[in-house]
Amino acid sequence: MQNLKLFVTGHKGFETLLFHELRQIAVAPGVTLKKCYGGVEINAGIEAVYRICLYSRLANRVFCELGQARVENETQLYQAVYQLDWSAHLNVRDSIAVSATLSSSRLDHGQFVALKTKDAIVDRFRDSCGSRPVVAKKQPDIQVHVNIHRNQATISLDLSGESLHRRGYRLQHSGAPLKEHLAAALLVQAGWCDPDNPVARLVDPMCGSGTFAIEAAMMAAHIAPGLERPYFGFLKWLRHDARLWQECIDSARQSVDLHPDVRIYASDYDTAALDIARANAKRAGVEDLIEFSHQQVGDLDLQISHGDTLVICNPPYGHRLQSEQDLAALYGDIGLALQRLAPARLAILSANPDLLHRLKLKRISRKDVRNGPLDCLFAIFETTGGEATANIEPSSKNVADKVAAPLRNRLAKNAKHIQRWANRNGVSCYRLYDADLPEFAFALDRYQSEIAADVEWFHLQEYQAPASIEADKAEHRIRVAIDVVRDFFSIPDDQLFCKIRSRQRGSGQYQKLDHRGEFFQVREGAASLLINLSDYLDSGLFLDHRPTRDRIYRIARDKSVLNLFCYTAAVGVQAALGGASSVMNIDLSATYLKWARENFLLNRLDDEDRYRFLRADIVELLANPDRFSLPRNHDLIFLDPPSFSNSSNMQQILDIQRDHERLIELAMNLLARDGLLIFSTNRRGFKLADRIQQDFEARDISHLTVPEDFKRNPKIHRCWEVRYRT
């Protein structure tokens, strides 16, 4: 019976893994598979259904299509369902349940659609034989599913009956567990049981209810995940072949190997969670394959392995930790534990990707994953790095478009010059290109990882194209530029971050930014600093201010420093590392202040008496410093306001050309008589007010603060040293 049109769903984002798994499970003459959004379409017979329900670790449900119809109202839906021959699939005395999913359709109430579908099925039986099926919400004999997308209805049987992630072994859990099919997908993604790259040992140091360890053990022992499930949606289906089903079960039992050549360790600090994990493992039949232990991550102690180790974990993020500080420390402990288990890989599903930098490990891959209501990041790290690839050479691959040739030539020229300069001066983060060619209006920055020197990230940010270039042509040029940059520097997709303007009516706006919350660790002089290349227009580190930060580092010793509009506090960190007696970092943004604190902690600057952070509207603060208990005798003040701000949290709109005179005067009221205020702005065409130059000693040091990689655009910022006149 090779006439079933199946749709197998899995966890969103893992369709490719599901496709490859099903290709192995459902292989037979005439079977065809097609990967789609949310799952895989299969044309196959009943045996494929049985094998998928038994063997698939990644599937969620198996739908068998009965019919399709265009439905724009309840009458059309009712007629489409009524006309199907339901007596070919169930008896009149069988129980049924109906579910529905809807998207972009006129019928937009799932419960209503399910009710109308049930009515049509019941009426069809009543009209034909005078009786009707009953409705059962739990484990019905037949489960019907209706999916309506853009008014196109697909009516199916749910042959899995209930989600296949329910293996039957997990009767208890220790709070917010991973679904089994997601855990299995992450294990496959991490390379567990990969025949081409076998891993000798798996470790889950925060096992909770044991899902990772149990799924890994079942995979290693070839235990079919559906083998012990008592209920499937096809068992009362009239096309069900009980003899063939039993043959599939017998074959699955014969394939079990309870003596695989792997070792699996699971530990947790919570003894109650360990008891639950052991009970779950026993029900799954793998209790003898997993060694459970009561350990803190920081105390993880395992014997030396003679093969590679895979550490996989889903760190807690809620009630199992007392505070955010505990969570940050936990990530540090995980990184240290992995170093002790080297050679090893770490696969971590994190709901707090902003803390991944605390692992201090080299990341080799990343994947965005939705875990229930949480946006998470699944990242893989390793303890040992490969050979450095810092030398930049053009790739031999050509980009077909001839318009790209000038850009390639300019990138080659810049890369050669700037990299030599950077190597001589120990600069690992710098600008490679800054709209050198008007037709290619973008900036390109390179950031080198401090943790793994052979890892680098590129940040491409498009500027507004000149008015002389048509919008369509500008859009084509930036796409060409991305291809050229990726090709020239041989950049993997996950190491190139692009900020591209969307072409809309009115003023061009940047497309919606990401929300990954992922930080990378880089080095600047004496400082370790965090950057984020995905979530914001800027990375968190203004590269053009590198000389200014170095200047502050060199003069900050024994000085009290006030860092206004501190942003991510890169200036404050350099001042503190330079020996400042105190540093006060002030900004209105809670997000940037949190980032600033992380930068300080990253550099072991944790003295709360010396290094302080204040959230405040700085315009209001400067006008009323006593309200904020702010001293008036700072030795060094850094003032770098935004060019323009209309933040809803501010008392008034800030325009730096209009307001800088007052800002500087108020800031000078907080400066010691022999102190120094450094004022900087990126406002194009900015002119310092005559009164500031009359009332104070204002020295323009812009030429001293523009670094080599920005020399082509010396007006990138303006900078002054302002002192009281003697």
Each residue's pLDDT tens digit, 369-388: 999 888 899 999 988 643 33
* Cα 185–chain centre separation: 17
Q: What is the DSSP letter of 197?
A: S
pLDDT at residue 476 in the model: 81
Give percent of the chain with pLDDT exceeding 70. Answer: 91
Q: Please report which confidence band the pLDDT of residue 512 belongs to, taking 50, 70 and 90 as the band edges.
A: very low
Q: Is the pLDDT of residue 119 over 70?
A: yes
Q: Please report which confidence band the pLDDT of residue 644 belongs to, taking 50, 70 and 90 as the band edges.
A: confident
Any idea which of 18-22, 110-114, 232-236, 650-654 has the lowest mean pLDDT?
Answer: 650-654
Return d(Cα 699, Cα 703) in angstroms, integer: 11
What is the residue type of 467? A
Return d(Cα 655, Cα 470) in angstroms, integer: 31
Domain-wise residue ranges, the chain: 4-158, 180-222+257-382, 402-510, 537-723
Q: Is the pLDDT of residue 321 over 70?
A: no
- Residues 218, 169 contacting (CB under 8 angstroms): no
Q: What is the DSSP code string of 394-462?
A: --SPPPS-GGGHHHHHHHHHHHHHHHHHHHHHT--EEEEEES-STTS-EEEEEEE-SS-TT-EEEEEEE
Return d(Cα 677, Cα 720) in angstroms, integer: 8
What is the residue type of 96? I
Q: Tell me the pairing of strands 582-587 and 142-149.
A: unpaired
Which residue has 């499930």 as its token pair?
229
Give percent of the chain with pLDDT exceeding 90. Answer: 72
Q: Please report which confidence band the pLDDT of residue 299 belongs to, taking 50, 70 and 90 as the band edges.
A: confident
Q: Is the pLDDT of residue 17 over 50?
A: yes
Across the range 628-650, mean pLDDT stands at 84
- Residues 640, 680 contacting (CB under 8 angstroms): yes
Task: Judge if 180-222+257-382 and 537-723 fold alike in CATH terms.
Answer: yes
How high does pLDDT run on average in the chain? 89
What is 180-222+257-382's CATH superfamily? Vaccinia Virus protein VP39 (3.40.50.150)
pLDDT at residue 352 in the model: 87
The CATH architecture of the domain made up of 4-158 is 2-Layer Sandwich (3.30)
pLDDT at residue 294 in the model: 94
| CATH code of the domain occupying 537-723 | 3.40.50.150
Strand order, beta sheet including 718-723? 611-615, 582-587, 560-564, 634-639, 671-681, 718-723, 697-700
Return d(Cα 530, Cα 525) in angstroms, integer: 14
| Furthest C-alpha separation in the chain | 106
Across the range 566-593, mean pLDDT stands at 97
Q: Is the pLDDT of residue 510 over 80?
A: no
Q: Considering Cα of 464, then 492, then 494, then 412, what sign does the dihedral take?
A: negative
Across the range 520-530, mean pLDDT stands at 96
Q: What is the per-residue pLDDT across 30-64, written as a single tens digit (0 to 9) for each?
A: 899 999 999 999 999 999 999 999 999 999 999 99
List Cα–Cα distances, 93 to 168, 277, 678, in angstroms. 28, 41, 85
List Cα–Cα distances, 561 to 590, 635, 672, in angstroms. 20, 6, 11
Coil vs helix vs strand at 522: strand
Return d(Cα 591, Cα 177) in angstroms, integer: 29
Return d(Cα 718, Cα 703) in angstroms, integer: 8
Please list the residues that pair with 587 across neighbouring strands: 615
Q: What is the pTM of this model?
A: 0.78
pLDDT at residue 2 in the model: 59
What is the residue type of 52? I
pLDDT at residue 676 in the model: 98
- Residues 165, 60 contacting (CB under 8 angstroms): yes
Return d(Cα 352, Cα 517) in angstroms, integer: 7
Across the range 282-309, mean pLDDT stands at 87
What is 402-510's CATH superfamily? RNA methyltransferase domain (HRMD) like (3.30.750.80)
- Residues 211, 183 contacting (CB under 8 angstroms): yes
